[in-house]
Structure 1
């Protein structure tokens, strides 16, 4: 993943996650949800497992290729 600075919205998600609360991110296509999950993984902030869902099979196939097996459960809705 290229190195980008998180947007204000992504920073808000990261800060909320760091409080220990559960986090569900819903936003439009292309808004940075997958990138936010990459930030959580790269910072070591995601110690356990996560669920990644999408309606589109293509998006799911791409996510399965990007995320570590066993850490991110990737499936369609």
Structure 2
């Protein structure tokens, strides 16, 4: 019964060591990758914001278009 918790603790304790071993030599490449991901995310957010602004501007323009000018007014003679 005690073997299960001890084995689980030993397994959990080995994860940070394994993670460090895998990532230890690639820290710079990981940083570069994270930086690129951040830049791409920022660009997508900017594009989405610009698209939303243009969409809202178009909707406002359609909503507040002036009424077409009425035809010529004909005044009846007396």
TM-score normalised per structure 2: 0.20
Instruction: Specify which structure has the bigger relative contact order, considering alpha-carbon pairs within 8 angstroms and separated by 6 or more residues.
Output: 1
Which of structures 1 and 2 has the bigger CA Rg?
A: 2
Q: Which has the higher strand share?
A: 1
TM-score normalised per structure 1: 0.20
